[in-house]
Structure 1
Amino acid sequence: MRVLVVKLTSMGDALHLLPALTDLQSHHADVTVDWMIEDSFSEIPRWHAAVDRVIPVATRRWRKFNLASVREFLSFWRVLRGQHYDVVIDAQGLMKSAVFARFAKLAKGGVRAGFSGDSIKESPAAKLYQKRIAVKREQHAIDRLRALFAGVFGYTVKSAHLDYQLELGSPPAAPRQSVMLLHGTTWSTKHLPDAVWRELADLAADDGYQVQLAWGNEVERQRAEWIAKGKSNVTVLEKSNLTELAQVLRTASGAIAVDTGLGHLAAALGVPCVSAYGATDANLTGTRGQHQVQLQSSYPCSPCLLKTCPKLTAQVLTPPCYQQLDADRLWQALYQQIV
């Protein structure tokens, strides 16, 4: 059975899909999966044994509609259309992903599947599927994906145990006395105050831990260097790809994160991690796995699920929901996991 999974973004969303692939492989040993995903996350599918081909897309570049983007899209089209699929499953549930799922060729008797209209935000997307699976919207994203795959492929999820089945090559070196501070994230409403990260570095030093800081863009690099300034126990890593970061992360004693893809990677690796949630809801999209702690703000409007905080003013520069998640609380929550 050849399956195409369409899950375009983001890092956390892609990692959330891995347990569903493990379920599928355990119930259908003959399955071969191709995965369509944004090229910036294309390393993640290669970490799972069920995935044969990764079909990268670059929707932002393709919107520019120049000669280079047209050539790139045509190359993608030839690769995608060169294979027939028994099942094409849109695991994203957006109009964009549903359209991309329609681009694929079905084998004779094949089916396109996805969430039912009342299970997703962009309900018209469901009109592009032949098989629609109703899944409760208030469930965690991982549980929703496992339920979707079970409904499409006709099996029952009997265990709450999560198996991300990451295959990252040779075992890492013995864990060092170090922690990673995962400060980078997309929404401005997900960020802890920068000063909290410096306080965390000091607390780590007090307990004998080195600190490592990763970064993925210029803003994150500048923040990392600011956090590290004048602190002998802090190292700013070189820019790395996701696989290299995963190898570094799996050797750490633990991590502290905002709501970020690297926090979900820590969960998938089983690295002890404390994640801070203000604007987003840990019950729906929080880290899941062994040794994971989710600290949700109890501020009245948390979780607001907004990308812009309406409470910011010239005097209030950080979403107030993070005032409850101070450095000492975050560090103590992690320290209890790693001592």
Structure 2
Amino acid sequence: MSTQALKILVIGPSWVGDMVMAQTLFMVLAKQHPGCAIDVLAPAWSRPLLERMPEVRRAIDMPLGHGSLQLGVRRQLGISLRSEAYDWAITLPNSLKSALVAAWAKIPRRTGWRGEMRYGLLNDLRVLDKARYPLMIERFIALGLDSDKPLPAPLPSPGLEIDPEQRQQALQALGLQTTRPILVLCPGAEFGEAKRWPEQAYAEVARKKLSEGWQVWILGSAKDTEGAERIRQMLPAELQLYCENLAGKTVLAQAVDLMSLASAVVSNDSGLMHIAAALHRPLVVVYGSTSPGFTPPLNANHEVVSLDLDCSPCFKRECPLGHSNCLKQLPPSLVLQALERLPIDVSVEAGS
């Protein structure tokens, strides 16, 4: 089998942050197998991310939602992919259903962690040693290497590529200006409330930077719209003029392109945090119920802020003790101090 002609299908993850981190696998595959074709089967929402990863040849939309089985649809999709004659399939999720398409596509080599009883579906079955691979990106990258091969050192970091013309279109569509330094706030977290720093704390950070002549863009999904507006409304009226609530107003492609212009980003541990890191933006991340020991921001210019309470990280969606002190007791001053320590270029369009 010719390395140059190697065709690889990656069954991608179903979360924004995980998809960003999966780029590290694509980077390793491209380096290990020059000229290989990497296609990624993933939810349709992930296409804007995959299109900004130069290692990926093609994004293939998974027609099913997260958690949906629908064996008939998966079987038909697998059969439709047989004509691609893939040499290798790498399945990143650990679920049984995620391994079905590659098996029905009759891809000769099918790699993945043991997960949910996937014997037979995967024929290059790996047993995960969590102590050996504590980071999620290590677990992704290891699947792209022979089981006895060490991970590359240093580990690669994601790097999304931006089209300046598309970015300009996003600015025009939303009526945004870049005449002031831009602080992007990402106060949402799809995982649950236990990842969300209080809105009042975000508002205090926004107030401080706005008073220094910055502008603030609040990014998030439609679910974050009301919370983002509460943050904006907590600001003095004269500062609200320079704070844009963009939550729910952007598609993912626009959010990525706009975030590339940020002079700095403050975020919870979320998918948008990983996008900011992959865009190499100066970044402060607030951790509460989760840990940077598993899914840290993967850029050099970042600061992690955490109280490191005895009860955290608990990795729960809701605080099991009912108080969320790991976040509620974390003062805005710690985040503002972290921002001051970061090297930040406040020139117009610093992210360009």
TM-score scaled to structure 2, two decimals?
A: 0.82
Give the CA deviation at 1:181: 0.4
Give the CA deviation at 1:236: 1.4
State the AA in 2 paired with 1:329: L
Report the 3-state secondary structure (helix = DSSP H, G, I; strand = E; otherwise coil) of the residue aligned with 1:20: helix
State the AA in 2 paired with 1:266: A
Where do 1:1-339 residues align within 5 Å?
A: 1-60=6-65, 63=68, 76=77, 79-106=80-107, 110-115=108-113, 117=114, 122-125=115-118, 128-138=121-131, 139-151=134-146, 156-170=150-164, 176-186=180-190, 187-217=192-222, 219-229=223-233, 230=237, 231-237=240-246, 239-312=249-322, 316=323, 319-339=324-344
Q: 1:64 to 1:136 in 2, by over 3 A?
A: closer
Q: 1:268 to 1:137 in 2, by over 3 A?
A: same
Report the 3-state secondary structure (helix = DSSP H, G, I; strand = E; otherwise coil) of the residue aligned with 2:293: helix
Is the helix fraction higher in 1 or 2? 1
State the AA in 1 paired with 2:198: P
Q: Is the 8 A contact 2:20 2:49 kept in 1?
A: yes
The whole-number CA distance in structure 1 between the counterparts of 2:69 and 2:119 is 28
Give the CA deviation at 1:308: 2.3
State the AA in 2 paired with 1:124: M
Q: Is the 8 A contact 2:69 2:97 kept in 1?
A: no
The whole-number CA distance in structure 2 between the counterparts of 1:175 and 1:129 is 53
C-alpha root-mean-square deviation of aligned residues, in Å? 2.7
Q: Please list every run of 5 or more consecutive structure 2 residues that lacks an aligned counterpart in the other structure.
A: 1-5, 169-177, 345-352
Report the 3-state secondary structure (helix = DSSP H, G, I; strand = E; otherwise coil) of the residue aligned with 1:239: coil
Give the CA deviation at 1:77: 5.3
Give the CA deviation at 1:210: 1.1
Q: Is the 8 A contact 1:212 1:234 kept in 2?
A: yes
Give the CA deviation at 1:64: 10
Q: 1:178 to 1:126 in 2, by over 3 A?
A: farther
Q: 1:144 to 1:296 in 2, by over 3 A?
A: farther
Q: 1:274 to 1:165 in 2, by over 3 A?
A: closer
Q: Is the 8 A contact 1:176 1:251 kept in 2?
A: no
The whole-number CA distance in structure 1 between the counterparts of 2:84 and 2:278 is 31
| Stretch of structure 1 that moved more, 191-200 or 319-328 | 319-328
Give the CA deviation at 1:76: 4.5
Q: Is the 8 A contact 1:133 1:151 kept in 2?
A: no
Give the CA deviation at 1:168: 2.1
CA deviations 1:241-300 (Å, max 9, x no partner) are 222111111111010000110100111111011111111111101211121222233111
Q: Please list every run of 5 or more consecutive structure 1 residues that lacks an aligned counterpart in the other structure.
A: none
CA deviations 1:132-151 (Å, max 9, x no partner) are 23443241111221222122
Q: Is the 8 A contact 2:284 2:305 kept in 1?
A: yes
The whole-number CA distance in structure 2 between the counterparts of 1:77 and 1:160 is 36
| Stretch of structure 1 that moved more, 14-23 or 234-243 | 234-243
Report the count of equivalent residues: 320
Report the 3-state secondary structure (helix = DSSP H, G, I; strand = E; otherwise coil) of the residue aligned with 2:318: coil
| Stretch of structure 1 that moved more, 275-284 or 287-296 | 287-296
